[in-house]
Amino acid sequence: MSYTSPPSDPFDPFGSPQPRRSRLRRPLTVALAVLVPGALLGWLAYGTLGGTGDGGDGADRAAGSGATPSVLHSPTDGEGKTGDPGATASATSDPKGSDSLKGKVVVIDPGHNPANAEHTAEINRTVDIGTNSKECDTTGTSTNSGYSEARFTLDVAHRLRTLLQQRGATVKLTQDADRPYGPCVDERARIGNAAHADAVVSIHADGSGTGNRGFHVILPGSVRAGAADTRAITGPSKNLGKLIADDFARTTGSSPSNYIGDGTGLVTREDLGGLNLSTVPKVFIECGNMRDSKDAALLTSGAWRQKAAQGISEGIVSFLRG
């Protein structure tokens, strides 16, 4: 940018014309010589007596103000690409609540491993879920444009992990695309159990028909068969699910499913190994229907996925705070 100098100031000592000396200059000089030392002594006395009036200097006030600016992170693009998946959060947490979940353990279960499709033999083998046997895992669904459920769930899991860690929680993922396939549904349950998790949330997206829209939260039914016994967790899991459903709807603006759950956004099932074999409070959330174009537009939006993580996080926080 070019810069044009302003007109010369007649009192500028650098090269500007100097005014003629006034006849009053000598008396003024004498007066200043008398006044300045007195003012300086007064200022020194004032500083010595601590007369700042605010208890500290500017640096101390800035350091103690607690006014930390919010830091926003850019959402990922519509294809789920993240430069730093674990660093996508809507804002830094409130310092007053940053340690509110200290000592709490949350396990996030991103549904389906992105590499499952390359290990069909392994994921098709059956495992015992208490009530019956079921496939180890599946590949999950995808949008009509090819954005996979596995990519979606992992992205939301990363965002959710960041939000919960900012609250002080210890967060573990059942998988982070760091294994060849799986884990199988029975192992997913064991991971949460072994962590003595205070809450476990399994993240999914549905693959229903066109026109079927909205989210729903799946709760464990009361099961006692074989290795499955959910009687101790059905109550707290239902509470967890209701809180997540409420906060998810409020934060994302999405409506409860119009095709399952009778408009409540809550569904109880007894055929999911990840729930049947859990001994800690656990729910699934189907965040939307990937096969519906309107829901797919949300699920493929990085900004919306951030809202989804925020809604799930707030539900978990409410549950853990009791």
Label each residue of 229-293 as H, E or C.
ECCCCHHHHHHHHHHHHHHHHHHHCCCECCCCCCCCCEEEECCCHHHHCCCCCEEEEEEEECCCH
Question: Could you give the 3-state DSSP secondary structure of residue 142?
Answer: strand
Give me the catalytic one of 149, 187, 286, 314: 286
As given in the structure block, the two tokens for residue 206 are 């549905």
DSSP state of 119: -
Q: Is residue 286 annotated as a catalytic residue, yes or no?
A: yes
Residues 53-64: b if buried by 16+ CB within 10 A, e if exposed: eeeeeeeeeeee
| H/E run at residue 170 | strand 170-173
DSSP state of 95: G
Backbone angles phi, psi at 62, to 5 degrees: -65, -40
Question: Could you give the 3-state DSSP secondary structure of residue 147?
Answer: coil
Active site residues: 286
